[in-house]
Amino acid sequence: MSLFNTTGLTDDQRMMREGVLDLLGRHLPWEKIRKMDEAREFPLEAYEALADAGYIGLFYPEELGGTGGSYRDIAIFLEAMGYHYTGIAQAITTSAVYAGMHIAKFGSPEMKKDLVPRIIAGKAKLALCMSEPGTGSDVAGVKTFAQREGDDYILNGNKVWITCGHVADYFVVITRTDRDGANRHQGISTLLVDAKTPGVTVRPLQMLGRRTSHANEVFFENVRVPAQNLFGGEGRAWKNIMSCLGLERLGLAAISAGHCFKITEYARDYAKDRVQFGQPISQFQVIQHKLADMLILSETARQMVYRAADVLDSGSPAVTEASIAKIVATDNNFKCADIGMQIMGGAGYSMEYDMQMFFRDSRVGPIGGGTNEIQRNILAKQMDLG
């Protein structure tokens, strides 16, 4: 029995959720996920199936070839993927949201016309290159530099924690184009770089969780990038990045909310089957309370996600709501996995069961996409605390 309550969803949204779960059940069955996690294999078949079914188009307006889904539509889509498997959800959002939204919002007309339809069709995968070895949360501290030389920029630098960089066709690179500006938030620009360009090197990283859509280190050594590939205005990347964060944080929260329900159902089913002292452990009140707490965490995460989506759909930037949703959903995701592991005891700690993967996959949520400490800094600023 599913613990997910679809009350409040439209008929189309219910159909979409059921369609996504059915498609993933066929193209990314659970026994395959376990093998792919161990092999660190990208879920290409499921990615392409979602694209062929038109789901990536939800993120983009009709004038760019998309279907113009509402933020709530997008939240439900990502929540469904997060419920099935966080790795495929991360693979889709990395290309379509974290990197692709920069193209859709700030790319030149030619760039949008060429690239967005290919993103929607699953024919072009993108990765956002922002974090660096010395600048994670401090985006304004990037050191990667692009020097103008005639009709090109010469790009040099090192990026790290680049999700899906190993399968990307293009990189959306946040780089300095001016080292002399007095304001550290100025002089930062965005370049579109073909991953096959000479001087680009990608080194996969061995990550704890979400291994199928893992992070990478990306090196740029005298990479020649056409000047026309600078987009969004020279020196204006900081402002552009900020305008993309609402959807990014909503996405991270929605994936985590879906994962909460997956973990809770898995732990519940185990508890109903596991017999100790002559009865299923689900009949012990201490276990019942733990499972009830997991359901509370799951439903609370989901409600925060829908609240942020509704505020975004109203036209507001939802700075406060998106940060709250990101904190609550990602923290609750890890708490659910932690409680679930305790319910399962030694089995939860064993690689033979799925709880260990849920635990590993959930831990990145409070770190990625702006740590939850950074989100609290944002909330403090929104509260006019200084």
Q: Which residue has the tokens 């017999």?
A: 275
What's the mean pLDDT in 66-79?
A: 98
In the predicted structure, residue 339 carries a pLDDT above the cut 90: yes
Dist. CA 291–CA 122, nearest whole Å: 38
Per-residue pLDDT tens over the stretch 4-23: 999 999 999 999 999 999 99
Which of 115, 127, 120 minimizes the C-alpha distance to 48? 120
Helices marked H in 28-168: 30-39, 44-52, 71-84, 86-93, 100-106, 109-120
Tokens of 327: 């904190």
End-to-end, the C-alpha distance of the chain in Å comes to 48
Q: Which residue has the tokens 């305790």?
A: 342
Number of helices and strands (H, E) in the chain? Answer: 12, 10
Which of 158, 241, 215, 204 minimizes the C-alpha distance to 364? 215
Residues with Cβ within 8 Å of residue 48, at least 6 apart in sequence: 122
In the predicted structure, residue 386 carries a pLDDT above the cut 80: no
Report the pLDDT value the prediction gives residue 117, as an integer from 0 to 100: 98
What's the mean pLDDT in 361-379?
A: 96
> SS3 of 188, please?
strand
What's the mean pLDDT in 360-384?
A: 96
Active-site hit among 79, 248, 299, 321: 248
Report the pLDDT value the prediction gives residue 139, as an integer from 0 to 100: 85
Question: How far does CA 311 lie from the centroid of its chain?
Answer: 20
Q: Quickly state the pLDDT bin for 180 (edges 50, 70, 90).
A: confident
Helix (H) or strand (E) holding 126: strand 126-129
Burial 154-193 (b: 16+ CB within 10 A, else e): bbbbbbbbbbbbbbbbbbbbbbbbeeeeeeeebbbbbbbb
In the predicted structure, residue 181 carries a pLDDT above the cut 80: no
Report the pLDDT value the prediction gives residue 185, as an integer from 0 to 100: 83
Dist. CA 160–CA 210, nearest whole Å: 16
Dist. CA 92–CA 55, nearest whole Å: 10
The one-letter amino acid at 133 = P
In the predicted structure, residue 80 carries a pLDDT above the cut 70: yes
CA distances from 128 to 40, 216, 218, 382 (A): 20, 11, 11, 27
Task: Tell me if residue 352 is catalytic.
Answer: no
Contact 326, 301 (CB under 8 A): no
Q: What is the dihedral of CA 260, 264, 267, 272, to 10 degrees?
A: -170
Per-residue pLDDT tens over the stretch 33-56: 999 999 999 999 999 999 999 999
Lowest-confidence pick of 70-74, 185-189, 252-256: 185-189
- The angle formed by the CA atoms of residues 53, 365 and 20, to the nearest 5 degrees, is 15
The mean of the pLDDT values for the chain is 96
Dist. CA 219–CA 32, nearest whole Å: 32
Dist. CA 125–CA 78, nearest whole Å: 18
* CA atoms 161, 163, 164, 168: torsion sign: negative
Contact 46, 27 (CB under 8 A): yes
Contact 165, 119 (CB under 8 A): no
Please state, for a pLDDT cut of 70, what percent of the chain lies above it: 100
Per-residue pLDDT tens over the stretch 232-248: 999 999 999 988 989 99
In the predicted structure, residue 163 carries a pLDDT above the cut 70: yes
- The angle formed by the CA atoms of residues 177, 181 and 187, to the nearest 5 degrees, is 30
Residues facing 250 on adjacent strands: none
Report the pLDDT value the prediction gives residue 182, as an integer from 0 to 100: 65
- The angle formed by the CA atoms of residues 22, 24 and 26, to the nearest 5 degrees, is 75
* CA atoms 104, 107, 109, 111: torsion sign: negative
Report the pLDDT value the prediction gives residue 136, as an integer from 0 to 100: 80
